[in-house]
Amino acid sequence: AGATQNLCGTLESGALGGNTPVVGTGAWSIVSGGTGTFDDNTDPDAIFTADAYSTYVLRWTISNGVCTASTSNMTVNFYQSIPANAGADQSLCNASSTVLIGNAPSSGTSSWSFVSGPNSPLIFPPSGSMSIAYGLIASTTPYVFQYTVTNGNCTSTDEVTITNYSQPTPAFAGNDQSVCSTLPATATMAANTPVYGTGGWTQESGGVAVITTPSDPTTTITGLSAGTSVFRWTISNGPCQSSSDLVSITVGTPATVNAGINQSICVGSTATMDATASGYISLLWSSSGTGIFSSNTALNPVYTPSASDIINGSAVLTLTATPATGCPLVSDAMVLTINPQATVSAGTDATICETGTYTLSGATQTNATSLAWTTSGDGSFSSTTVLNPIYTPGANDL
């Protein structure tokens, strides 16, 4: 008979390799291992097909009449190829070890080996379908382990990838912000850039806004409405517990204020303000002098100058508006000029000849800005707007 054959994944042997008899005839038979068929059991190089994977002992017998037959046995091992299954890929969080579980082969042996990774872990036990890999470190580089199933001369392998993630970087969403802007407002975020993991922005509360690039720690947020909106910066890394932090953005709209045009009053008079303002939560009037307002928190109070204001001749009145949170104070000023009362004297009475004229040289004035002479008769003035004109009597004056 021929040499021992070791076959993988097939139930058909190679040529059995018996010797060709010089005298007599040969025949193949099954000694042990199960059932099967020969394509020609008289052919020394017959092909044997087994009915199942097993170890068969085949016998080549040469007979010649009544003579004692000559026999020789050979072994044919039919090994089944068993696919290796290393199990599903694993995602771990900062683990120091993990269990490797492959399929348990129905026959043959199995073992684990290290292929690649950030370091070389210990596998114990190295043989068998279940082992433990010790000494893992967290890394962005994954581990690859190979599981091998051996059955005779059949070998199959499978690999499993294990990623051991680091704990995510603690999240910091940045300091709370106050934004003064017309609406809709825009804010720029200032979160930390993760060393481990990836970050993402979400909105927790407030009017609906648009996060331009959710994964960018310094993204802009547009469409902010007045009031407070809260955003969350979350850093995640694989299966590890994520880290998050909140930041508030308070949007206020700027106030506008106009103290009104400059005014002039006479001594003894008061001034009513003519201001306008919008977008404020409170108002406050102040004076460079020492006069008083009827209400310094009203939009248009009445201002009464003090003696000091009168002496100075003017006072600067300032209106300051306090806007909503996030915006600075805004002010505007007007000048109140305080003019002294005008005085005038036409002079003493006078008598002239009927053909004469009269120069009003005795007239005097103080603090006047304009003059106007008039007559009860029909005479005329050389000028009605000068202090000392010449008066010429009319016919009805005589």
pLDDT at position 26 is: 96
| Beta-sheet pairing, 220-224 with 210-211 | antiparallel
Over residues 29-37, the mean pLDDT reads 97
CATH topology of domain 90-165: Immunoglobulin-like (2.60.40)
- Which amino acid would we find at residue 103? N
pLDDT at position 262 is: 98
pLDDT class for 366, splitting at 50, 70, 90?
Answer: confident
Over residues 285-304, the mean pLDDT reads 98
Superfamily holding 5-79:
Immunoglobulins (2.60.40.10)
pLDDT at position 217 is: 99
Distances from the Cα of 311 to the Cα of 41, 57, 265, 271, 338, angstroms: 142, 135, 14, 17, 9
% of the chain beyond a pLDDT of 90: 91
Over residues 236-258, the mean pLDDT reads 97
Nearest to 93 by CA among 245, 217, 243, 216: 243
pLDDT at position 354 is: 86
pLDDT in tens, 57-100: 999 999 999 999 999 999 999 999 999 999 999 999 999 999 99
CATH topology of domain 177-252: Immunoglobulin-like (2.60.40)
| Beta-sheet pairing, 271-272 with 302-304 | antiparallel
Distances from the Cα of 322 to the Cα of 44, 133, 227, angstroms: 112, 67, 16
Left if phi > 0, otherwise alpha if psi is -120 to 50, otherwise beta: which for 206?
A: left
Q: What is the spatial distance between Cα 71 and Cα 40, in angstroms, rounded to a whole number? A: 17
pLDDT class for 131, splitting at 50, 70, 90?
Answer: very high
Cβ burial of 381 (10 Å; 0-12, 13-18, 19+) is: middle
pLDDT at position 326 is: 72
Residues 354 and 256 sit within 8 Å (Cβ to Cβ): no
pLDDT at position 203 is: 98
- Which stretch of DSSP H or E encloses residue 310? helix 307-312
Domain 256-339: top CATH class: mainly beta
pLDDT at position 382 is: 94
Over residues 353-370, the mean pLDDT reads 89
pLDDT class for 134, splitting at 50, 70, 90?
Answer: very high
CA 145 to chain centre: 37
pLDDT at position 291 is: 98
Intervals of CATH 2.60.40.10 along the chain = 5-79, 90-165, 177-252, 256-339
pLDDT class for 341, splitting at 50, 70, 90?
Answer: confident
| Beta-sheet pairing, 390-392 with 380-381 | antiparallel
pLDDT at position 367 is: 83
- Averaged confidence pLDDT in the chain: 96
pLDDT in tens, 201-227: 999 999 999 999 999 999 999 999 999
- Using DSSP's 3-state secondary structure scheme, residue 190 falls into coil
Cβ burial of 95 (10 Å; 0-12, 13-18, 19+) is: middle
Cis-peptide, bond into residue 184, ω within 30° of zero:
yes
Q: What is the spatial distance between Cα 258 and Cα 333, in angstroms, rounded to a whole number? A: 8
Q: pTM for this structure?
A: 0.68
Q: Is the pLDDT of residue 324 over 80?
A: no
Residues 154 and 10 sit within 8 Å (Cβ to Cβ): no
pLDDT at position 117 is: 98
Tokens of 202: 């979400």
